[in-house]
Structures are given as C-alpha cells and as structure tokens.
Amino acid sequence: MAVQPYGVIATFNTAPELYHAAEQVRDAGYRHWDCITPFPVHGLDKAMGLKRSIVPRISLAGGITGFITGMTMIWWTGAVDYPLIVGGKPLFSPMFAFPVSYELTILFTAFATIIGMFLVNGLPRHYHPVLKYDHIVRGMDDTFFIVIEARDPRFNLANTKAMLEKIGGAAVTELEP
C-alpha cells in the first residue's frame, strides 16, 4: 500500500479565483486545509471561515506584565532594597515611575506579540510538505494554492481531487509527507 500523502495541492492563478474556491472548500465542510498566498489576501480569512486571531490576548498579557515589572522594579530598587533620598523627593511615586513602566509595557507587548505569533503559527518550522512542492516558489511570487490535508475527516483522495478540480484548481497534485 502506497504511503498516505500529506494532502493535495491545487493551483489558482488569481486572487478572486482563490477567494471563491476557498469559500467552496469551507462550505464543503473541510477543516484541515489551507491557502498559500504570496501576500495577505483581504477578506480571505472570512472566506476560509477563520476565527479572529488570539495573538492580541498574548499581547495584552505581555503589556500588563511589562507595566507591573516596571512599577515593581522601581518601587523595590528605590524604596525597599536601597532607599536613598534624592532631591528631597519621595522614595517611590507612580508619577516618576510612569515613563519607564510605560516603555516596558511597550517592550513586553512587542516581545509577547512576536513570540505569540510564532507560537500560534507553529513557527519556526523549517521542514514542511508544502515547502517541498516543486512550484512553491510561485506561491511566494504570484500564484495561489489550496492545500487539503489527508488528516481531514472528509478527505478522500479521489473525491477531494475531483472537488478541487471542479472549483477551478489547476495542476491538482498529491503532496508527499
């Protein structure tokens, strides 16, 4: 018995073709599938039925951590660990601690956003069956692909291929795992 392929890939030449095909794949009930596009196609998330990204929640957590870190650090170093009166000013005040805490809020948010984006996307992942596809360089350039994975419960090699061809996909090919 032949090795089960990773999935099948179909080529679309224009963004509108891909968009309408994606709507049909979504409506056919597939869940483990993806579009490969050289740039973020506006509205494709909706056509694919994707939910809103969860990255903002990670960013928020990072921002809160940053602000608390700033305030705590300035309070602990200035008022607890080594209290030192400078210019008759209080040992701690949220007023003078604010600029640094504000910058740390932004710094931690930035790191949380980027690390969060990588984690949610499962990157870095330098090996992927899609990247082994011969024409993937076109997918980074000017061509669009739809990939339906074999692990999808509705996946059936013959039927899925036929469906991709029916919705306008060209060069429907099996991807090696």
Partner 1 sequence: MAHASDHAADAPAILSEVKPAVLPRATLVENNRSFNWITEKICGIIEGKTPTWWWVCFILACFVASFTVAGITYLVITGVGVWGHANPVNWAWDIVNFVFWIGIGHAGTLISAILCLLRQKWRTSINRAAEAMTIFAVVCAAIFPVFHVGRVWYAWYLFPIPNSNVIWQNFRSPLEWDVFAVSTYGTVSVLFWYIGLIPDLAVLRDRFFNAGNKIRSFLYGLFAMGWRGSNRHWSNYEMAYLILAGISTPLVLSVHTIVSFDFAVSLIPGWHTTIFPPYFVAGAIFSGFGMVLTLMLPLRAVYGLQDLITQYHIDCMCKITLATGTIVGYAYGIEFFIAWYGANPYEGFAFINRAFGHYAWAYWIMIGCNVITPQFFWFKAVRNNTALVWILSIFVNVGMWFERFVIIVTSLARDFLPSSWGYYSPSIVEIFTFFGTFGVFSVLFLLFIRFLPIMPMAELKAVTPQADVHGGHGAEGKH
47 vs 163, beta carbon nearer partner 1 = 47
Of 134, 161, 170, whose CA–CA distance to 7 is shortest? 161
Interface positions, 128-157, toward partner 1 (CB under 8 A): 128, 130-131, 136-137, 139-142
Q: Please name the amino acid found at residue 167.
A: I
Q: By CB under 8 A, is residue 170 in contact with partner 1? A: no
Residues 41, 18 contacting (CB under 8 angstroms): yes
Half-sphere exposure of residue 122: CA atoms within 13 angstroms, side-chain side: 4
Closest distance of CB 28 from partner 1, Å: 17
Q: Footprint of partner 1 on residues 11-30 (CB under 8 A)?
A: 14-16, 18-19
Tokens representing 61 are 């957590």
Distances (CA, A) of 129 to 58, 110, 134, 176: 29, 31, 11, 6
Among 2, 81, 153, 158, binds partner 1 (CB under 8 A): 81
Burial of residue 17 (number of CB atoms within 10 Å: 0-12, 13-18, 19+): middle
* Residue 44 touches partner 1, criterion: CB under 8 A: yes
Q: Report the residue from 4, 31, 50, 177 that binds partner 1 according to the rule CB under 8 A.
A: 50
Residue count, binding to partner 1 (CB under 8 A): 70
Q: Tell me: does residue 89 bind partner 1 (CB under 8 A).
A: yes
Please pick, from the candidates 104, 148, 150, 163, the single residue that binds partner 1 as defined by CB under 8 A. Answer: 104
Query: What is the residue-wise DSSP string for 82-122?
Result: S----TT--S--HHHHHHHHHHHHHHHHHHHHHHHHHHHHT
**Which of 27, 31, 96, 166 is in the footprint of partner 1 by CB under 8 A?**
96
Question: Cβ distance 165 to 117 under 8 Å?
Answer: no
* Chain positions contacting partner 1, by CB under 8 A: 14-16, 18-19, 34-45, 47-48, 50, 52-56, 59, 63, 73-74, 77-78, 81-82, 84, 86-87, 89, 96-97, 99-100, 102-104, 106-107, 109-111, 113-114, 116-118, 120-121, 123-128, 130-131, 136-137, 139-142
